[in-house]
Structures are given as structure tokens and as C-alpha cells.
């Protein structure tokens, strides 16, 4: 089940990524000779119109083969010269290259929008328990209390309430709670504690000492709001991933946290076992990750091609084929090293 889930997940993401390149190439008048899901030996192929569609043996990527991709390529057929990728403007080539990662970000927005329209549970600001000797217990908070507001601001949901409290350690806060149908006003001062953020770094936050209850409601967005929230969610996760990437380079995030295909298979299985919503949410995260990774300025990736195009726009001539070849060799070596390291981490986790 895990392998099947991973194949479906990666297959969809690769298809969407390559479809972005394909559609933009077509729209800019470039001849697409092959659209392939996977690398290596071709397992299946079919010619339709001027393009050959194929499934290849190694399902860790894909490619769109365009006529005249190399900047110094010689067009064999003069009648096709106007449809050569290399003969298109820098701007057109930039759009074609950028379209792949953009398609992955767009897919994430669509998935999140669908999730928000289907409905997501949000926990209410109900007190499930009170920690002994905590600020909340000292102030008189009891199990079953419903937090209505803090400092006059509506706090219907648990996540809103905790975010407000965590940002205000040591500040007296005026809580309005509901108990047995009656409203009570309590003043609680969050105590400063040291906790870990998502990257494992120490942070100081405020905490009053209450545990979340189980009451929740299902929130469903209308299509326009869902698309907006989907875009916000995609931006938020993209920003978090970029910060995490920087911290990985800075060694703040340990290198052994890097995962590869084995971890994706496991996480795809776990999310599929949890339900379709979890599986699609995981797909959106991996799609964002794929978009970001492809935009890194590493030769052989889309980001490397974009870097060459920027240099070409500045210098007003293509980067020499020799420089491109050396850069691509370096980029491939770097990617192979990262993939090997990710596999090593996966195997290490598996045998722990």
C-alpha cells in the first residue's frame, strides 16, 4: 500500500510539473518532441500529433524534450527553426522553465482550496484540564471552562488563544470565560517558559497551564475564500521550507533530518492510512517542496537553467556550452551526493 501510495503521489506531482513545461512550450510555439514520466529506458510510448508520450523505467522525475534545446544547436530542418527552444526570446524560455515549479505551487493551492471547501476541524477554546500549580489554576480556571475572549478579543478557537498567550509572557491578560452558562472575568499572567520551535531552536513563550479539550467544529469555506486560504497556506509552508533550508545549511537543523524516497513512501502510506484529506495535504506539502527544490540555482535543475537565462539576459549572449557542461557535471554530482545522503538517512531510520 505504501509503495502504491508513493507511486500515485509522485506520479501526479511529476506529471503536473512536466505539464507546466509542456503547456508553456506549446503556447510559445516550441516543438515538443517527447513528454516523459520517468527517466531511463522507455517502457511505453505513443505518438500523438507531433509529440511522443512515454513512461520510462525510473519514476523519480520526468522530462519534456523540446526541439533545439541547446543554445548552439543547429536546426536540421530550416522549416522548424522558428519552433526551436533556443531561438525563442530569453523571456519565453524563462516562462517555459519557470512553468514547471509554478505548476507545483499551483497544484498545492488547488489541493488546499479543496480541503478548505471540504471542511477542516478546528478545536474550540475549551479547557480540557488544568496543570497543577499553573498560572491558570492560581487564577481559578477549571476543567470544562470555555474561553470566550482575552483582552476583549474574540478567542473562540484554541489556536487563536494559544498564539495570543504565547506572544505575551509576563503580561497580565484579562480572560472572559463561560462556566455553567455564566460569564466570568479572570486575570491570568502567562509564565515565561523555554520551548522548541519547529526547527528545534529554543524560544521563550508564555504559558498559562491549560490543556485543550475535545470540542471542535468543521469549518467550510466558499470557493473564493478557499482559494485565498489555499494561496496563504501555500505561501506559509513555502516560507517555512525556505527558512528550514537555510537552517539546514547553517547546521541549525541536523543534516540527518534530510529524507529521501524511502521516507516519502512511509509518509505517503501513513497519510493514506489516516484518510484522503491527510493524503492530499501531504501531496500538497511534497508539491511545494518539489517546486522549491527545482528553483534552487543548481545546474541541471530548473533553477540552474533560470540562472543561465539571467546571465544571458545581462551579457546579451548565451553562456558557452563548455561552461554549461562543466556546471551541469557539478550540479549532477551535487544532486547524486544529496540523494545518496538522503538514502543513507532513510536506511538508518529504517533499521533503528
**What residues act catalytically?**
18
Distance, CA of 273 to CA of 1 (rounded, Å): 9
Residue appearing with cell numbers 521516507: 263
Query: What residues contact 143, with CB distance under 8 A and at least 6 apart?
Result: 127, 128, 129, 130
List, in sequence order, the alpha helices (H) in 63-206: 90-118, 135-139, 158-166
DSSP 8-class letter at 257? G
Q: Which one, of 60, 46, 49, lies nearest residue 14 by Cα?
A: 60
Distance, CA of 291 to CA of 349 (rounded, Å): 26
Parallel, antiparallel, or unpaired: how do β-strands 182-188 and 173-179 relate? antiparallel
The DSSP bridge partners found for residue 54 are: 36, 45
- Which triple of cell numbers denotes residue 41? 529506458
How would you class 84 by CB atoms within 10 Å of its CB: exposed for 0-12, middle for 13-18, buried for 19 or more? buried
C-alpha dist (Å) from residue 138 to 132, 141, 166, 182, 277: 9, 8, 18, 20, 40
- Other Cβ atoms less than 10 A from the Cβ of 195: the count is 11
Amino acid at each position: 500500500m505504501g509503495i502504491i501510495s508513493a507511486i500515485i503521489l509522485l506520479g501526479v506531482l511529476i506529471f503536473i510539473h512536466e505539464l507546466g513545461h509542456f503547456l508553456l512550450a506549446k503556447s510559445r510555439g516550441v516543438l515538443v518532441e517527447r513528454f516523459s514520466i520517468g527517466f531511463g529506458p522507455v517502457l511505453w510510448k505513443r505518438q500523438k500529433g507531433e509529440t511522443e508520450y512515454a513512461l520510462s523505467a525510473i519514476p523519480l522525475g520526468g522530462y519534456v524534450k523540446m526541439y533545439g534545446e541547446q543554445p548552439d544547436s543547429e536546426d536540421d530542418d530550416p522549416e522548424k527553426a522558428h519552433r526551436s527552444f533556443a531561438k525563442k526570446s530569453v523571456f519565453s524560455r524563462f516562462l517555459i522553465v519557470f512553468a514547471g515549479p509554478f505548476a507545483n505551487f499551483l497544484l498545492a493551492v488547488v489541493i488546499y482550496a479543496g480541503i478548505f471547501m471540504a471542511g477542516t476541524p478546528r478545536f474550540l477554546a475549551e479547557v480540557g484540564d488544568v496543570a497543577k500549580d499553573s498560572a491558570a489554576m492560581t487564577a481559578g480556571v477549571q476543567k470544562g471552562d470555555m474561553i470566550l475572549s482575552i483582552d476583549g478579543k474574540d478567542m473562540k478557537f484554541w489556536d487563536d488563544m494559544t498564539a495570543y498567550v504565547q506572544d505575551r509572557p509576563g503580561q497580565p491578560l484579562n480572560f472572559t470565560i463561560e462556566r455553567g452558562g455564566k460569564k466570568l472575568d479572570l486575570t491570568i499572567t502567562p509564565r515565561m517558559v523555554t520551548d522548541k520551535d519547529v526547527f528545534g531552536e529554543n524560544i521563550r513563550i508564555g504559558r498559562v497551564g491549560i490543556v485543550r479539550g475535545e470540542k471542535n467544529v468543521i469549518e467550510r469555506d466558499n470557493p473564493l475564500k478557499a482559494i485565498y486560504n489555499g494561496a496563504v497556506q501555500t505561501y506559509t509552508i513555502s516560507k517555512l521550507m525556505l527558512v528550514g533550508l537555510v537552517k539546514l545549511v547553517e547546521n541549525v537543523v541536523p543534516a540527518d533530518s534530510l529524507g529521501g524516497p524511502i521516507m516519502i513512501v512511509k509518509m505517503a502510506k501513513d497519510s493514506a492510512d489516516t484518510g484522503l484529506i491527510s493524503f492530499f495535504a501531504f501531496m500538497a506539502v511534497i508539491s511545494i517542496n518539489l517546486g522549491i527544490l527545482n528553483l534552487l540555482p543548481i545546474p541541471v535543475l530548473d533553477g540552474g537553467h533560470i540562472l543561465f537565462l539571467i546571465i544571458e539576459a545581462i551579457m546579451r549572449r548565451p553562456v558557452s556550452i563548455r561552461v554549461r557542461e562543466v556546471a551541469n557535471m557539478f550540479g549532477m554530482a551535487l544532486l547524486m551526493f544529496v540523494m545518496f545522503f538522503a538514502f543513507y538517512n532513510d536506511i538508518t531510520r529504517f533499521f533503528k
